């Protein structure tokens, strides 16, 4: 029976020690049968302790959007207009530049954590100060240009022209800094456009004096955004994240009405979504946009000041360094244990930190994993599983094998090959990964002793199969056929482990058909990557090597790429399909689920997510080019759909070459069709997972702040995605046939690649969807024959990556 635990550890450990009869290790002394924990049948972990459900209430069936004010719809459209892919990328690049510029200073491990964090924060704030000052000066220059115009008479084209006349910076700055400034200026222009449009509709007053507070507020928001980048860089991660809608000012939130709150609470967790490895820059941009858009709906300067200061306030923060310290301490404690000593006290101390240092933590883990009783129970299970590896005997059994792989494949120094330390490192990694896996478990597992015990054992077996050599693991549990296959946490010389790397680099021979079927980040395929990044000729097999990586807390794709010395564009998600297609008998290395939100970008990873890099022999790679990209906007308020397709420079040139061959439009369309189809498939996938990525925007009366899929889109979205694909096919085919010269001119410009914008207006069926979103149509309707007809459309080609400029 489980006993109440004081101070996180029971003094009756020997009586209730949990040791499984089976371990993952193929060694006789480790494989001994042990007596199982005596428990009552059907006993659960609930007992007398309070269980607070971590999940939000089920979805309301009440009408969405009923009674919403006009402000809500306008706010929805403005926040959609503010989305900017290049601005979001600039935040990632600024972080990488800062880390590269100050890598030696930030790598210091002397002094206590608080002192190191404070020193790093001062260093990074000083690094970004010139950019913050230039951002404020840029907005001042923009406002000075605007003062010469009557604000209420401004048009979108005139605002764009004025923005184009404002110099970004008076001093030389890095490309990422200039990209950040350009994105900030575009956002400022869109805010002014939004203010003017609101005034024309009688929803807000606008003029020289009304624009002043907006632009002054934007200056402060921009500075605060850079301070958030600094906090993320030093690993100060917010413990909890509120829905974006709850960050709205009271006045606007009331305008959204109670149905918006119900929509937020209606999110269903249909599968494990994974624990984010690091903060998401898309969320950082979304928070900035929500606060910036509110400036238009906040007439009082004092309220604006309160809004801005609220955005700048710090939340409760946890530090990735806390986990680093806890990790190092766990290794020391495990390496010092003597035979017969229990690892339970060390595990109970480590478990809360292993979970609590993640951002944002799974709701289940917040409510359950930190409770002393569950911590004690899981700690006891883990201590029992690693019992026979404690002390000199266990080290002698497994230490040499671990040290041999480390020396042979990872270049560890001979002095680091102490058997007890090697085993302790592997056990600590195994325990940490086990805890992360358990933290993602649903509540019915966490509150039931039998289910939790089985989950811990399975997670421990999977983790041990990763961090111990195959030679020490039972054959049925091995992930690969390699004799010495093993993962090691990196960087090897530091306690700040940010990723793991697999010991063996595996040769691959990829056919064109296989490359075209393997999906990678950004709605692209492996074939797109091989063409764009390696200049691989079409129709030929690609022969090269694959190296595998795994994300740990505190990492983004660029963290791994920087440490390993290659561009982040070289990383791909190791999905089960990719592993099956590329790794053959070693495909089990990719048998880990990755939910849809983590297949959008290598900069947004979940803890434990596996990745691969495919490269020619010798590791050489082609020059970096911007990969293909697509975005979709469904605007119910305007009855409009827009699709933006960015074609990489190599793809653009191949299509232009096809169009130059007389009337060979078919070959050109054949190259574009997969990208069109994948745009519709991305919408279907997003609907299935109830979460829209930043590349899919929906504008309705209810602002789509957190990217949740509203009920009307879940009902009709799959059918609509199919129709969008049909319409886009027809429109692109007609465009290529009638405007081949325009396409070739855009492709021949000095810009890399080109952007196709497809605008569909008077879209049949969107009026019904709008009524559904407002609660004015039947909840259930037949899709048979819906919608009838085709939209009016316009397709245009623009040189370079122009999605952000063409958003409006």
Q: What is the pLDDT confidence band of residue 182, given thresholds at 50, 70 and 90?
A: very high
The mean pLDDT value for 532-541 works out to 91
61-70, 552-561, 654-663: least confidently modelled range: 61-70
pLDDT for res 147: 80
pLDDT for res 704: 77
pLDDT for res 408: 60
State the DSSP H helix or E strand holding residue 798, giving kind and residue range, or none if neither: strand 792-799
Q: What is the pLDDT confidence band of residue 216, given thresholds at 50, 70 and 90?
A: confident
Q: What is the 3-state secondary structure (H, E, C) of 598-643?
A: HHCCCCCCECCCEEEEEECCCCCCCCCCCCCEEEEEEECCCCEEEE
Q: What is the pLDDT confidence band of residue 40, given thresholds at 50, 70 and 90?
A: very low
pLDDT for res 7: 36
SS3 536: coil
527 backbone φψ class: left, alpha, beta (φ>0; ψ -120 to 50):
alpha
Beta bridge partners of 615: 545
The mean pLDDT value for 407-425 works out to 66
In order, the DSSP letters of 218-269 are HHHHHHHHHHHHHHHHTTEEES----GGGGS-HHHHHHH-HHHHHHHHT---
pLDDT for res 292: 92
State the DSSP H helix or E strand holding residue 546, giving kind and residue range, or none if neither: strand 542-551
What tokens were used for 280? Answer: 């998401």
CB 142 within 8 A of CB 166: yes
Torsion on CA atoms 491, 495, 500, 503, rounded to nearest 10: 60
Burial of 605 (0-12, 13-18, 19+ CB in 10 A): buried
The mean pLDDT value for 730-735 works out to 96
CB 156 within 8 A of CB 78: no
Q: Name the residue ranges covered by the structural domains of the chain.
A: 28-37+320-454, 70-263+275-315, 505-615, 629-799
Q: What is the pLDDT of residues 507-534, one digit of tens each?
A: 999 999 999 999 999 889 999 999 999 9
Burial of 737 (0-12, 13-18, 19+ CB in 10 A): middle
The mean pLDDT value for 317-334 works out to 81
Q: What is the pLDDT confidence band of residue 22, given thresholds at 50, 70 and 90?
A: low
What tokens were used for 263? Answer: 């929509």
Question: CB-hemisphere CA count at 13 Å for 680?
Answer: 16
36-45, 363-372, 579-588: least confidently modelled range: 36-45
Reply yes or no on whether the pLDDT at 29 is more than 80.
Answer: no
CB 179 within 8 A of CB 88: no
What is the b/e burial string over 747-769, where b = at least 16 CB atoms within 10 angstroms of the residue's CB?
beeebbbbbbbbbbeebbbbebb
Reply yes or no on whether the pLDDT at 460 is more than 60.
Answer: yes
Give the Cα separation of 761 and 642 in Å (integer).
Answer: 9
The mean pLDDT value for 286-294 works out to 91
The mean pLDDT value for 618-645 works out to 86
Positive or negative CA dihedral for 460, 466, 472, 476?
positive
What tokens were used for 689? Answer: 């997972």
pLDDT for res 10: 40
Give the closest residue to 170 by CA, choosing from 125, 143, 135, 145. Answer: 135
Distances (CA, A) of 674 to 61, 390, 527, 678, 682: 37, 55, 11, 6, 12
> Helix axis angle, 711-738 relative to 766-773, nearest 10°?
160
pLDDT for res 1: 39
Give the Cα separation of 528 and 512 in Å (integer).
Answer: 11
The mean pLDDT value for 494-512 works out to 91
Reply yes or no on whether the pLDDT at 237 is more than 70.
Answer: no
pLDDT for res 386: 87
Per the model's pLDDT, the better-predicted residue between 110 and 320 turns out to be 320
Beta bridge partners of 519: 525
pLDDT for res 715: 86
CB 467 within 8 A of CB 430: yes
Reply yes or no on whether the pLDDT at 3 is more than 50.
Answer: no
Per the model's pLDDT, the better-predicted residue between 503 and 581 turns out to be 581
Reply yes or no on whether the pLDDT at 548 is more than 90.
Answer: yes
- Other C-beta atoms within 10 Å of 276: how many? 24
Q: What is the pLDDT of residues 346-385, one digit of tens each?
A: 999 998 878 765 544 444 444 455 567 788 888 999 999 8
pLDDT for res 780: 59
Averaged pLDDT of the chain:
81
What is the b/e burial string over 777-789, where b = at least 16 CB atoms within 10 angstroms of the residue's CB?
beeeeeeeeebee
35-39, 225-229, 338-342, 800-804: least confidently modelled range: 35-39
Q: Please enumerate in sequence order all residues whose Cβ is within 8 A of that of 59, keeping only pairs 6 or more positions apart, or say none.
A: 265, 266, 267, 268, 711
280-289, 483-492, 548-557: least confidently modelled range: 483-492
- Other C-beta atoms within 10 Å of 738: how many? 11
pLDDT for res 652: 95
Kindly give the residue spans of alpha helices, DSSP state H, lying in 83-112. Answer: 85-101, 103-106
pLDDT for res 412: 57
pLDDT for res 447: 78
The mean pLDDT value for 629-657 works out to 94
Give the Cα separation of 378 and 347 in Å (integer).
Answer: 8
The mean pLDDT value for 264-280 works out to 61
Beta bridge partners of 571: 613
Pairing of strands 629-635, 696-699: parallel
The mean pLDDT value for 739-755 works out to 93
Beta bridge partners of 473: 25
Give the closest residue to 760 by CA, choosing from 716, 734, 727. Answer: 727
Reply yes or no on whether the pLDDT at 454 is more than 70.
Answer: yes
The percent of residues in the chain predicted with pLDDT above 90, rounded, is: 41
Per the model's pLDDT, the better-predicted residue between 6 and 696 turns out to be 696
pLDDT for res 325: 85
Q: What is the pLDDT confidence band of residue 277, given thresholds at 50, 70 and 90?
A: confident
45-59, 170-184, 390-404, 708-722: least confidently modelled range: 45-59
Per the model's pLDDT, the better-predicted residue between 535 and 38 turns out to be 535
Q: What is the pLDDT of residues 115-171, one digit of tens each?
A: 777 888 899 999 999 999 999 999 999 988 888 777 777 888 888 888 989 999 888
């Amino acid at each position: 029976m489980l006993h109440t635990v004081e101070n996180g550890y029971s003094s009756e450990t020997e009586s209730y020690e949990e040791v499984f009869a089976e371990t993952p290790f193929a060694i006789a002394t480790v494989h001994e049968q042990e007596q199982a924990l005596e428990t009552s049948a059907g006993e659960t972990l609930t007992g007398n302790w309070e269980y607070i459900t971590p999940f939000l209430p089920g979805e309301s069936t009440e009408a969405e959007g009923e009674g919403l004010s006009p402000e809500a719809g306008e706010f929805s459209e403005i926040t959609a207009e503010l989305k900017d892919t290049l601005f979001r990328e600039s935040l990632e690049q600024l972080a990488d530049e800062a880390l590269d510029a100050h890598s030696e200073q930030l790598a210091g491990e002397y002094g206590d954590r608080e002192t190191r964090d404070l020193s790093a924060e001062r260093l990074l704030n000083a690094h970004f100060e010139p950019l913050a000052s230039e951002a404020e000066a840029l907005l001042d220059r923009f406002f000075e240009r605007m003062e010469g115009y009557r604000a209420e008479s401004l048009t979108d084209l005139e605002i764009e022209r004025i923005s184009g006349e404002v110099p970004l910076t008076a001093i030389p700055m890095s490309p990422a800094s200039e990209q950040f400034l350009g994105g900030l200026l575009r956002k400022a222009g869109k805010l002014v456009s939004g203010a003017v449009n609101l005034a024309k509709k009688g929803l807000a007053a606008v003029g020289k004096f009304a624009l002043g507070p907006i632009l002054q507020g934007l200056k402060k928001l921009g500075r605060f955004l850079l301070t958030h980048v600094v906090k993320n860089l030093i690993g100060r991660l917010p413990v909890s994240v509120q829905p974006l809608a709850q960050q709205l000012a009271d006045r606007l939130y009331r305008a959204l009405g109670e149905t918006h709150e119900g929509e937020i609470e209606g999110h269903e967790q249909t599968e494990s979504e994974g624990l984010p490895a690091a903060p998401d820059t898309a969320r950082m941009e979304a928070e900035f946009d929500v606060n910036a858009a509110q400036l238009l709906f906040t007439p009082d300067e004092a309220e604006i000041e309160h809004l801005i200061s609220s955005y700048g306030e710090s939340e409760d923060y946890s530090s990735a360094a806390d986990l680093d310290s806890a990790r190092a301490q766990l290794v020391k404690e495990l390496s010092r244990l003597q035979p017969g000593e229990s690892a339970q006290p060390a595990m109970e101390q480590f478990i809360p930190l292993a979970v609590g240092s993640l951002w944002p933590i799974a709701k289940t883990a917040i409510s359950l994993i930190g409770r002393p009783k569950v911590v004690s129970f899981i700690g006891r299970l883990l201590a029992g599983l690693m019992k026979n590896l404690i002390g000199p005997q266990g080290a002698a059994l497994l230490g040499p094998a671990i040290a041999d792989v480390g020396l042979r494949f990872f270049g560890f120094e001979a002095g680091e090959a102490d058997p007890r330390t090697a085993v302790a490192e592997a056990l600590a990694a195994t325990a940490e990964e086990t805890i992360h896996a358990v933290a993602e478990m649903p509540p019915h597992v966490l509150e039931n002793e039998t289910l939790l015990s089985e989950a811990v054992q399975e997670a421990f077996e999977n983790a041990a199969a990763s961090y111990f050599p195959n030679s020490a693991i039972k054959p049925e549990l091995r992930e690969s056929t390699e004799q010495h296959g093993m993962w090691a946490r990196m960087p090897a010389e530091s306690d700040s482990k940010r990723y793991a790397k697999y010991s063996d680099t595996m040769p691959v021979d990829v056919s064109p058909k296989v490359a075209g079927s393997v999906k990678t980040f950004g709605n692209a395929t492996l074939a797109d990557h091989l063409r764009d990044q390696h200049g691989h000729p079409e129709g030929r097999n690609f022969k090269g090597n694959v190296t595998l990586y795994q994300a740990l807390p505190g990492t983004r794709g660029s963290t791994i790429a920087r440490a390993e010395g290659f561009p982040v564009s070289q990383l791909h998600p190791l999905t089960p399909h990719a592993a099956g297609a590329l790794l053959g008998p070693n495909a089990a290395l990719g048998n880990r689920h990755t939910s849809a939100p983590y297949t959008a970008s290598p900069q947004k990873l979940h803890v434990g997510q596996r990745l691969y890099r495919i490269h020619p022999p010798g590791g050489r790679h082609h020059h970096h080019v911007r990969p293909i990209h697509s975005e979709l906007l469904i605007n119910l308020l305007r009855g409009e759909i827009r699709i933006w397709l960015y074609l990489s420079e190599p793809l653009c040139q191949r299509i232009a070459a096809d169009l130059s061959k007389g009337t060979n439009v078919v070959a050109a369309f054949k190259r574009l069709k997969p990208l069109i189809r994948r745009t519709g498939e991305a919408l279907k996938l997003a609907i299935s997972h109830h979460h829209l990525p930043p590349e899919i925007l929906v504008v309705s009366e209810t602002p789509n702040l957190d990217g949740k899929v509203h009920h009307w889109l879940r009902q009709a979205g799959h059918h609509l995605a199919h129709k969008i694909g049909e319409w886009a096919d027809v429109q692109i085919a007609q465009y290529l046939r009638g405007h081949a010269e325009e396409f070739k001119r855009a492709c021949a410009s000095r810009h890399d690649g080109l952007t196709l914008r497809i605008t569909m207006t008077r879209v049949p069926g969107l009026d019904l969807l709008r009524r559904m979103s407002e609660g004015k149509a039947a909840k259930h309707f037949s899709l048979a024959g819906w919608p009838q007809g085709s939209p009016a459309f316009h397709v245009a080609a623009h040189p370079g990556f122009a999605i952000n400029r063409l958003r409006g």
